[in-house]
Structure 1
Amino acid sequence: MVTFFAALFLLVAGYAVYSKVVERVFVIDDHQKTPAYTQHDGMDFVPMSWWKGSLIQLLNIAGLGPIFGAVAGALYGPVAFIWIVIGCIFAGAVHDYFSGMLSLRHGGAQYPTLVGRYLGKGVKGAINVISIVLMILVAAAFTAGPAQLIAQITPLSFMAALVLVFVYFLLAAILPVNKVIGKIYPIFGAILIFMAAAIGAALLFGDKPIPNLTFENLHPGELPIWPLLMVTISCGAISGFHCTQSPIVARTMKKESEGRKIFYGAMVAEGVIALIWAAAGMTFFGGTEGLQGALAAGGPAGVVNEISTSLLGTLGGILAVLGVIILPITTGDTALRSSRMMLTEMASKWVNPEKKGVALAFTLVVAAPMFFLSTIDYTFLWRYVGWTNQVVATVMLWTAVSYMLKEGKAHLIAGVPALFMTGVVCTYIFYAPEGFAMDYTISMAIGSVLTAAVAGIYVWQIIRHKRSEVNEVTVRSA
């Protein structure tokens, strides 16, 4: 249990210490009015309390991600704890903070708009497509599961349950943020936290010790930790989906100092949840072989249900059902809302976003493919979500780097994780079965070359900005 407690302590310490470092680098200004007031529209731009914003952000970014991903990542053994801690503190929380705060500073702008501003129109065009596709895929994946479970425990058919879920999606996407999401998300957030805390307590007082990281279990058989673990466990460490969700809450913040609690804090909370469920996956089934068998038999949902009902009894069964139904739905509805917001921004030159019926029209545009994909065999498409998700995260980190270079800030806090994630996505796509399925050594070589090329561009940009600063000083002196 020592490794687990050390990881838990480091996550809390990371929030207490490193979040303040990140905030100091960004430089907050509470005298500056936020978009919730300057662009108040009663729809998306609505002031809300920071604690509501924190719980909404947690549900937006979490859902079942830190549960299902962590359970699958537990197959790698206790080394998963290390990735969750390092990834969360130095990559994921930094990613989430800058995605939210840059949106706040730019009038509640969506992620692709920020990319375009700091990385260019070409990158923005690609990211617009990738982001919307990612959200459609995620929403579709997190819709079919709950609909199937609703059909099993109620008289409704699968299609009827699916329609019911999508009716809620439409309402959540087009109604003012404080009418649906602002009212029910804090409750769902509390359920997510309580569920994780109850499982954690049951593990600590159970008869099976949480495994520690040792030299013997450092490497899980023939599974290559790099880069597979970094894609398997995304929520809880770093996830690109988060930067598509942060603008929802950025448009409701009352002041900039709330950003550390909302964005960095919610990511650390998700890291704690992922840590607990990774520990549960490693411990409950007596090792990775038992977990692998359970995943093969019932999938992540079956594993979560078995752990919950066995450790917590009837309460656990209720929580498991609520979790598997509610948590994915809270990912799907905000994915739909974010997609609608992105399309609205893209079309703002031609269509007045405040015009009656525009919100519903854009929502239906993205809801249609979501509904279709949730009715077909999604296994093949789901394979691409993990890599696409981390590509989006990598681009957001480089967006933060570009912003800090232009502002003369300490860019390495985003630059180092950006280079790391560049290596992950470049290596993964060449090695993974859904990619080019190349030999591991060849994939590593190609990934290293591509990462080195990006690092070269990064260094060149640093030199260019330093020269620009010197020239400005010279001109001012003259």
Structure 2
Amino acid sequence: MTTFLIGLAILLIGGALYGAYCEKVFGPDDRKTPALAQSDGVDYVPMKKWKNSLIELLNIAGTGPILGPIQGILFGPIAFILIPIGCVFGGALHDYMSGMISIREKGAQMPSLISRFLGNKVFQVYNIFLCLLMLLVGAVFIYTPGDLVVTQILNMKSTINNPVVWIVYGLIFLYYLCATLFPIDKIIGKVYPIFGAILLLSAAGVGIGIFTQGYDLANLSLANWKGIHPDGIPLIPTFFVTVACGIVSGFHSTQATLIARSVSNEKEGKTTFYNMMILEGLIAMIWAAAAMGIYNKGIPKELVGSPDVIGLVARDLLGSIGGIIAIIGVIVLPITSGDTALRSLRLMLADYFHYDQKEKKHRVILSICIFIPVIAILIFAKLSASGFNILWRYFSWSNQTIAIFAFAMITVYLIIKEKNYIISLIPGMFYSFVIFSYIFNAQIGFNLNINISYVLAAIFTVLYAILTVRSGRKLKSKADTKLAD
């Protein structure tokens, strides 16, 4: 329990201090934000800080900060230290800077920011990875809430030959289709406070239950500080890819730039972007601790690391009624992220191929093109016993890959503005090492020896740093030349 409490202190105190430093580096002021200067009643709409913060939290907090830690805690109590450190110095900075740069750049979305600061060639590569990520987000965020409804609410088995599974998937699909085709977010926005209350109350209930039920939480020691995964999997890179959204998520940058168009004052950015990621880190810590506690009590081996752990924890800590409420909160999380992801994908593809979306027929055609591969991914995940684990790993890896593009964009921006760019370059380099070493070593990648993977990853990481800094200095030089002229 001591290590868990130390981790909470790092997250909350570290988040407060480093969040203030990040705010100082960026330097928010009283200039008009795009929500006010470009207000159009549709995309640019000023909203209150609490509402922006709540929508941001619900958009970024899918099943990642729950399922990731449930699997990541298998590495042992080192997770209680790495999650808060990564969240404070990586994830929260990533979200804050992405949102604030968007505000300064007239509400530009991530693809536009990548193109503007990293160039068209990098933008083309980024777009491919982003489209892949959005497809995987859509698939994961249908699979997980659907399975939770079937197994935890309906008390049935979630197998491929159970028609109820596909009926539930179909209903979620139908909602996503409506959200992809129509501006349903205006309606959903009215019930977001209810969703937010369920999310926060369920997380608080589980967090309190960890203490009141006296869950046995292991502490960090000389024997386990390197990570003690039962399958002997190396801590780096697998832990960071597994925990994913609970530490750093590239998907968050696409959501922060959406909310940037509703922020009325730049000084609200720290609460809206930075602090909401710290809150997601807190959710990740709570579920990591809850998972460790239930594992130590003893559960069937085949359930370890699976979504079923959510139901076991919820009912054990909160009882039948409280458990159902907590499970509903977890079901809501991915649904409120998945709809945004697929709608964003439709708009991105339409922009990329210059395919007009004013006509309903065009929206339907493009939506069908998106949903067909999502269905194929779902069928693949259901056909194999390890299908979901493979899907989760590809989702997590592509998510972290998107993050290094965002870190590079932030670094270039800070270089141009003559600010401390090291704060984004270092986490960008770290995650560059993580994604390259993972894909070189993993069975779903190149399946190379781990030491060879480390060497190759180190080379690519150095190249990443050199190219990022060079891009920043090149743009800074151009900006200085224009000023001189």
Partner SS state of residue 436, structure 1: coil
Q: What is the CA-CA distance between 1:83 and the residue it aligns to?
A: 1.4
Kept after mapping to 2: 8 A contact 1:430/1:437: yes
Q: What is the CA-CA distance between 1:62 and the residue it aligns to?
A: 1.0
Which residue in the other structure is 1:277 paired with? 287
Kept after mapping to 2: 8 A contact 1:97/1:259: yes
CA pair 358-28 structure 1, distance change in 2 beyond 3 A: farther
Q: What is the CA-CA distance between 1:312 and the residue it aligns to?
A: 1.0
Kept after mapping to 1: 8 A contact 2:215/2:290: no
Among candidates 361, 369, 372, match of residue 373 of structure 2? 369
Partner SS state of residue 179, structure 1: helix
Q: Look up the equivalent residue of 2:219 and give its one-letter code.
A: N
Kept after mapping to 2: 8 A contact 1:37/1:46: no
CA pair 148-3 structure 1, distance change in 2 beyond 3 A: closer
Q: What is the CA-CA distance between 1:320 and the residue it aligns to?
A: 4.2
TM-score normalized by the length of structure 2? 0.88
Partner SS state of residue 246, structure 2: coil
Among candidates 214, 225, 230, match of residue 218 of structure 1? 225
Among candidates 320, 329, 346, match of residue 352 of structure 2? 346
Q: What is the CA-CA distance between 1:469 and the residue it aligns to?
A: 8.5
- 5 Å-filtered alignment, 1:323-402, equals 323-347=329-353, 350=354, 362-377=366-381, 379=387, 380-402=390-412
Kept after mapping to 2: 8 A contact 1:110/1:341: no
Which residue in the other structure is 2:240 paired with? 230
Which residue in the other structure is 2:29 paired with? 29
Which residue in the other structure is 1:191 paired with? 198
Give the distance between the partners of 1:167 and 1:469, measured in 2 at CA.
48
Give the distance between the partners of 1:437 and 1:260, measured in 2 at CA.
41
Kept after mapping to 1: 8 A contact 2:415/2:473: no
Which residue in the other structure is 2:137 paired with? 138
Confirm whether residue 317 of structure 1 aligns to residue 323 of structure 2: yes
TM-score normalized by the length of structure 1? 0.89
- 5 Å-filtered alignment, 1:168-179, equals 168-176=175-183, 179=186
Among candidates 259, 272, 284, match of residue 249 of structure 1? 259
Which residue in the other structure is 2:456 paired with? 446
Q: Give structure 1 stretches of 5+ with no counterpart.
A: none
Which residue in the other structure is 1:5 paired with? 5
Kept after mapping to 2: 8 A contact 1:301/1:324: no
CA pair 262-181 structure 1, distance change in 2 beyond 3 A: farther
CA pair 77-469 structure 1, distance change in 2 beyond 3 A: same
Kept after mapping to 2: 8 A contact 1:208/1:283: yes
Q: CA offsets, 1:254-287, max 9 Å, x none? A: 2222211111111000000101111112222218
Give the distance between the partners of 1:75 and 1:133, measured in 2 at CA.
28
Kept after mapping to 1: 8 A contact 2:33/2:106: no
Confirm whether residue 259 of structure 1 aligns to residue 269 of structure 2: yes
Q: What is the CA-CA distance between 1:344 and the residue it aligns to?
A: 3.9
Kept after mapping to 1: 8 A contact 2:62/2:337: yes
61-70 or 8-17, which moves further after superposition?
8-17
Kept after mapping to 1: 8 A contact 2:62/2:336: yes
Kept after mapping to 2: 8 A contact 1:138/1:385: yes
Q: What is the CA-CA distance between 1:412 and the residue it aligns to?
A: 1.0
- 5 Å-filtered alignment, 1:295-314, equals 296-297=302-303, 299-314=305-320
Q: CA offsets, 1:395-437, max 9 Å, x none? A: 1100101111122221111111111111111211111111111
Q: CA offsets, 1:312-353, max 9 Å, x none? A: 111343134313432221221111122133234335xx4555
CA pair 150-315 structure 1, distance change in 2 beyond 3 A: closer
Confirm whether residue 164 of structure 1 aligns to residue 186 of structure 2: no
Kept after mapping to 1: 8 A contact 2:47/2:264: yes
Which residue in the other structure is 2:441 paired with? 431
Q: CA offsets, 1:144-185, max 9 Å, x none? A: 333344456569833332222122213333444652332222
85-94 or 33-42, which moves further after superposition?
33-42
Q: What is the CA-CA distance between 1:376 and the residue it aligns to?
A: 3.7
Give the distance between the partners of 1:57 and 1:236, measured in 2 at CA.
15
CA pair 48-374 structure 1, distance change in 2 beyond 3 A: farther
CA pair 466-56 structure 1, distance change in 2 beyond 3 A: closer
Give the distance between the partners of 2:120 and 2:182, measured in 1 at CA.
31
Q: CA offsets, 1:208-254, max 9 Å, x none? A: 34222121221234331111111111112101111122222122222
Give the distance between the partners of 2:94 and 2:430, measured in 1 at CA.
13
Q: Look up the equivalent residue of 1:232 and give its one-letter code.
A: T
Give the distance between the partners of 2:470 and 2:38, measured in 1 at CA.
38
Give the distance between the partners of 2:184 and 2:106, measured in 1 at CA.
17
Q: Look up the equivalent residue of 1:192 and give its one-letter code.
A: L
Which residue in the other structure is 1:88 paired with? 87
Which residue in the other structure is 2:211 paired with? 204
Kept after mapping to 2: 8 A contact 1:34/1:256: no
Kept after mapping to 1: 8 A contact 2:425/2:465: no
Kept after mapping to 2: 8 A contact 1:84/1:236: yes
Q: Which runs of 4+ in 1 moved over 6 A?
A: 465-473
Which residue in the other structure is 2:62 paired with? 63
Give the distance between the partners of 1:278 and 1:80, measured in 2 at CA.
8
CA pair 213-148 structure 1, distance change in 2 beyond 3 A: closer
Give the distance between the partners of 1:180 and 1:14, measured in 2 at CA.
37
- 5 Å-filtered alignment, 1:77-156, equals 77-151=76-150, 153=153
CA pair 359-49 structure 1, distance change in 2 beyond 3 A: farther
Q: CA offsets, 1:354-412, max 9 Å, x none? A: 56666555444423432443344352444311211111011110010111112222111
Kept after mapping to 1: 8 A contact 2:206/2:290: yes
Kept after mapping to 1: 8 A contact 2:33/2:103: no
Kept after mapping to 1: 8 A contact 2:102/2:257: yes
404-413 or 176-185, which moves further after superposition?
176-185
Give the distance between the partners of 1:362 and 1:252, measured in 2 at CA.
27
Q: Look up the equivalent residue of 2:13 and give its one-letter code.
A: A
Q: Look up the equivalent residue of 1:334 and give its one-letter code.
A: T
Q: Give structure 2 stretches of 5+ with no counterpart.
A: 157-162
Which residue in the other structure is 1:51 paired with? 50
